[in-house]
Amino acid sequence: MDHDNQLTADVIVIGFGKGGKTAARVLADAGRSVVLVERSANMYGGTCPNVGCVPSKMLVHYSGERRLEDDAQEFFAKSIAGVRELTTAFRAGNFAAIDGRPTAMVLTGTARFLDEHTVSVGEGDDAVTVTGATILINTGSEAIVPAVPGLAESTRLVSSTELIQNDHLPRRLVVIGGGYLGLEFASIYRHFGAEVTVLESAERLLPREDDDVAAAVTGILAGDGIRIITGATVLDVRDEEAGSIVRYEVDGDSGEVEADALLPATGRRPVIEGLGLEAAGVELTERGGIRVDEHLRTSRPHIFALGDVNGGEQFTYISLDDARIVLDQLLGSGERATTDRVAVPHTLFTTPPLATVGLTERRARTEGRRVRVARENVADIVAMPRAYAMEETRGLMKFIVDSDTDLILGAALLSIDAQELVNTVALAMRHGITATQLRDSIYTHPSSTEAFNEVFDNIVSEA
């Protein structure tokens, strides 16, 4: 049936991200023949286990372990070695999990559509043509380098990928952009001992969050020694022998900062270049993502787009949920949709982390809702001894509660274990658990969750 350079499959998956690999595994187990195409042998499993969530969160952990007497450079190099060891193991495991299945195979090479059912993989004599009835696109996103004169040409420009693959700790790191990725890397490298400056164009960090929450995060980062410059327009970058000079402007006043490494963290865009989507008749949105409906079908009903490439929220767990929707289309009842998503949580992995879900207080009031706000600083929560036991009492917990129904509308948790706590809150929100029920539940001790027993009693405002 198949020749060496011509393959047919029930399903072609382009890109080895979370959504693609999950769908590929389940479809193969269901008896479908699957060909998964990944352009880089370093990316089996996608961004998260190789260059994203897993290595960066490992570095968060390692950076918190550094003692004052540890040599910064030596400790950093050892930490990077630990990251490499784990990501290499994950990569091999991800490859085997797909290629080891009887009806699935992994092809390494760049995919390009020839028509709506056929892709070419690789170049020249090594090129393989694959024809599939169903095609899943899961090519992810890539960092945007902002159009700052001299930045793209700078020898000290690094991507987040390059930063965590280099075992040399930069002495001075300048982060352009104070979003999730920018602040996480600022926090990580500051804890490793680098001098870190964040240049953010907005008037304050985290403009989508409430003022008190953003101020608390900013205070923690500044307290750790990170220099934060908001309202900053980056003018240009000039390489010199001793370092790169970054010039910026705030309210008409110019300043400059020297860097040994420059990390642009101003956003990511879908990876579609070279895919040949025109040949397949796949349409894009105005913002450059692949246009999909609520079932993730593109303008060609047999072609789906999962994960960052469809222009949705750029989180691994959204890509995983995308896989559930597509699998429901291909193997199930076809009812699951992106519109089903309720109370999707997010976590910014600073130290301590900020985890949020639902509405901010500002948004709830803007929508005209009657709300109660429960808020308490972690250091004041008597029912949370774990914070003291772990020597991390910074931060706050804030809940937005509907005055009429007692339902939780939103939460911002800036605390130790916040990335876990927020999942309990999100589950409560999805299933109509009230603030009173969450307050009066039984939690293990000592845990961070038992803070809920107290925080809901601390109502700071009514409306």
| Tokens linked to 6 | 């011509």
The whole-number pLDDT of residue 87 equals: 86
Residues 164 and 197 in one domain: yes
In a domain, 261, yes or no: yes
The whole-number pLDDT of residue 3 equals: 56
Look at residues 247, 266, 285 and tell me which one is the last residue of a structural domain.
266
pLDDT in tens, 62-120: 898 888 888 999 999 999 999 988 888 888 888 888 888 999 999 999 999 999 999 99
Beta strand 354-358 pairing with 408-414: antiparallel
**Distance of alpha carbon 243 from alpha carbon 190, whole angstroms:** 18
In a domain, 301, yes or no: yes
In a domain, 147, yes or no: no
Residues 378 and 408 in one domain: yes
Integer angstrom CA distances of residue 153 from 97, 256, 339, 380: 40, 18, 42, 49
**Distance of alpha carbon 431 from alpha carbon 344, whole angstroms:** 13
Q: Give the residue among 21, 50, 18 at the shortest CA–CA distance from 37.
A: 21
In a domain, 153, yes or no: no
CATH code of the domain containing 16: 3.50.50.60
Residues 58 and 184 in one domain: no
Helix, strand and coil content of the chain, in percent to the nearest 5, comes to 35, 30, 40
The whole-number pLDDT of residue 314 equals: 84
Residues 73 and 46 in one domain: yes
Active site residues: 445
**Distance of alpha carbon 18 from alpha carbon 291, whole angstroms:** 19
Query: Please, which residues have CB within 8 angstroms of residue 20's CB and are 6 or more apart in sequence?
Result: 13, 14, 36, 46, 136, 138, 306, 307, 323
What angle (nearest 5°) sits at the alpha carbon of residue 57, between those of residues 53 and 58? Answer: 120
Residues 98 and 41 in one domain: yes
Residues 181 and 286 in one domain: no
Q: Count of CB atoms within 10 A of residue 233's CB? A: 13
Q: What are phi and psi of 133, to 5 degrees?
A: -70, -40
**Distance of alpha carbon 217 from alpha carbon 209, whole angstroms:** 10
CATH code of the domain containing 388: 3.30.390.30
Query: Please, which residues have CB within 8 angstroms of residue 216's CB and are 6 or more apart in sequence?
Result: 395, 396, 414
Q: Count of CB atoms within 10 A of residue 263's CB? A: 26
3 state SS of 92: helix
251: left (phi over 0), alpha (psi -120 to 50) or beta: left
Query: Please, which residues have CB within 8 angstroms of residue 287's CB and are 6 or more apart in sequence?
Result: 311
DSSP per-residue string spanning 385-425: HHHHHTT----EEEEEEETTT-BEEEEEEESTTHHHHHHHH
Residues 368 and 402 in one domain: yes
Q: Count of CB atoms within 10 A of residue 212's CB? A: 15
The whole-number pLDDT of residue 461 equals: 61
In a domain, 117, yes or no: yes
Residues 365 and 285 in one domain: no
In a domain, 335, yes or no: yes
With tokens 């400059």, the residue in question is: 256
Cβ 290 vs Cβ 310: under 8 Å: yes
Look at residues 266, 299, 322 and tell me which one is the last residue of a structural domain.
266
Residues 303 and 389 in one domain: no
Going residue by residue through the chain, which has 463 residues, state the pLDDT in tens, using 9 for 90 and above. Answer: 455 689 999 999 999 999 999 999 999 999 999 999 998 877 777 767 666 788 888 888 989 888 888 899 999 999 999 998 888 888 888 888 888 899 999 999 999 999 999 999 988 888 999 999 999 999 999 989 999 999 999 999 999 888 888 899 999 999 999 999 999 999 999 999 999 999 999 999 999 999 999 999 999 999 999 999 999 999 999 999 999 999 999 999 999 999 999 999 999 999 999 999 999 999 999 989 999 999 999 999 999 999 999 988 888 889 999 999 999 999 999 999 999 999 999 999 999 999 999 999 999 999 999 999 999 999 999 999 999 999 999 999 999 999 999 999 999 999 999 999 999 999 999 999 999 999 999 999 999 999 999 999 988 765 5
pLDDT in tens, 448-458: 999 999 999 98
3 state SS of 76: helix
Q: How many structural domains is the chain composed of?
A: 3
Residues 16 and 43 in one domain: yes
DSSP letter assigned to residue 262: E
Q: What is the dihedral of CA 315, 320, 321, 327, to 10 degrees?
A: 150
The whole-number pLDDT of residue 54 equals: 83
In a domain, 149, yes or no: no
Cβ 311 vs Cβ 326: under 8 Å: no
Q: Bridge-partner residues for 244, per DSSP?
A: 239, 259
**Distance of alpha carbon 80 from alpha carbon 339, whole angstroms:** 40
The whole-number pLDDT of residue 1 equals: 41
Look at residues 321, 340, 359 and tell me which one is the last residue of a structural domain.
340
Integer angstrom CA distances of residue 419 from 57, 359, 422: 12, 17, 6
Residues 367 and 419 in one domain: yes
In a domain, 150, yes or no: no
Q: Give the residue among 428, 435, 393, 432 at the shortest CA–CA distance from 414.
A: 393
**Distance of alpha carbon 183 from alpha carbon 95, whole angstroms:** 32
pTM of the entire predicted model: 0.91
Q: Which domain holds residue 449?
A: 346-458
Residues 17 and 99 in one domain: yes
